[in-house]
Amino acid sequence: MLISVLFKFFHDLGGAIYDPMILARTNGSATVLASTASAAGIGGVTGAILLSAWGGPKRRVTGMLAGFIGAGVSKTVFGLGRSPAVWLPAQVCSSLNFPLLGSSRAAAQGI
**For residue range 9-30, what is the model confidence (pLDDT) as tens digits?**
999 998 899 999 999 999 999 9
What span, in angstroms and rounded, lies between the C-alpha atoms of 82 and 85? 8
CA angle 60, 79, 45 (to 5 degrees): 45
pTM, 2 dp: 0.89
Q: Is the pLDDT of residue 111 over 80?
A: no
What's the pLDDT at 110?
79
Mean pLDDT for the chain? 94
Following CA atoms 21, 93, 100, 60 in sequence, which dihedral angle do they give, to the nearest 10 degrees? -100
Candidates 99, 93, 92; CA nearest to 42 is 92
What span, in angstroms and rounded, lies between the C-alpha atoms of 100 and 29? 32
- Of residues 26 and 4, more confidently modeled: 26
